[in-house]
Amino acid sequence: MARKKQYNETEVIDNAMRLFWRNGYESTSVRMLEKEMGINQFSIYASFKNKEGVFLESIKLYNTQIKAITNTLEKSNNGVEGIKEYFLDFLDFSREGAIFKGCLVTNTVNEIKEDSSPIIMAALKRFSSNIRELFVRNLKQDDSRDVKEIEVQADYLMNALLGLSISSKVFKEEQLKGIIKITFLHL
């Protein structure tokens, strides 16, 4: 029989994901992935088929890691307050020290052209639609809420969250806190 893989796939994908996150999809080269993942190009292609495959696995891992936050949202019965906490947790999750990297998914949605990478685009849309559904669920917990308004409010919250992914790269942390405060003022 043959020898076993000398590396742990989850570990090398974690490195890949962090690189994509910092650097974007297109401008991350396979040579860079090689160095960051610590394995040879051949091994990359053997394990993940191609660059797109590495990215899809990165999204999966990102999803798993962000689950720690979404889980508290999923299990909370705090309605709007729970969503607000999610916003703050997300900011914490998306930072590396003082640097905010935004949301990996949002970054990539904004970068990728639908027709050049339809598989990636589909994965990204699935991801964000899941979060929107969590917002809807939490909004429904508040009985006083107009049912017809809930969908619109979920869109509004998604818009604010997408905005934060960019704002966090430009604004100071204090400003971000202010933005979140106002976003939830009238909900």
Partner DNA sequence: GTTAAATCTAAGCAGACGCTTAGTTATTAA
Partner DNA sequence: TTAATAACTAAGCGTCTGCTTAGATTTAAC
Task: Give the interface with DNA as residue ranges (CB under 7 A).
Answer: 1-7, 28-32, 39-43, 45-46, 50-52
Q: How many residues does the chain have?
A: 187
Candidate residues 1, 2, 98, 185; the one interacting with a copy of itself per rule CB under 8 A:
185
State in angstroms the smallest separation of the CB of 186 from a copy of itself. Answer: 4
Candidate residues 26, 96, 133, 142; the one interacting with a copy of itself per rule CB under 8 A:
26
With respect to DNA, which residue has the nearer C-beta, 49 or 67? Answer: 49
What residues from 140 to 169 belong to the interface with a copy of itself (CB under 8 A)? 151-153, 155-156, 158-167, 169
Report the sign of the C-alpha dihedral through residues 87, 160, 25, 71, in that order.
positive
Distance CA 73, CA 139 (A): 11
What token pair was written down for 89? Answer: 């947790």
Q: Using the structure block, give the residue that is written with the tokens 């000398």.
A: 6
What residues from 42 to 101 belong to the interface with a copy of itself (CB under 8 A)? none
State in angstroms the smallest separation of the CB of 52 from a copy of itself. Answer: 15
Choose from DNA, a copy of itself, none: what does 42 bind? Cβ within 5-8 Å by kind.
Answer: DNA
What token pair was written down for 80? Answer: 């709007």
Element (H, E) at 95: strand 95-96
Choose from a copy of itself, DNA, none: what does 2 bind? Cβ within 5-8 Å by kind.
Answer: DNA
**What is the x/- site pattern for a copy of itself, positions 102-131, by CB under 8 A?**
x---xx-xxx-x-----------x--x---
Which spans in the chain are helix H? 9-23, 30-37, 41-48, 51-75, 80-93, 104-111, 118-140, 147-170, 173-183
Candidate residues 9, 18, 23, 136; the one interacting with a copy of itself per rule CB under 8 A:
23
Distance CA 151, CA 129 (A): 12
Asked if 101 contacts 22 with a C-beta cutoff of 8 angstroms, the reply is: yes
Choose from a copy of itself, DNA, none: what does 45 bind? Cβ within 5-8 Å by kind.
Answer: DNA
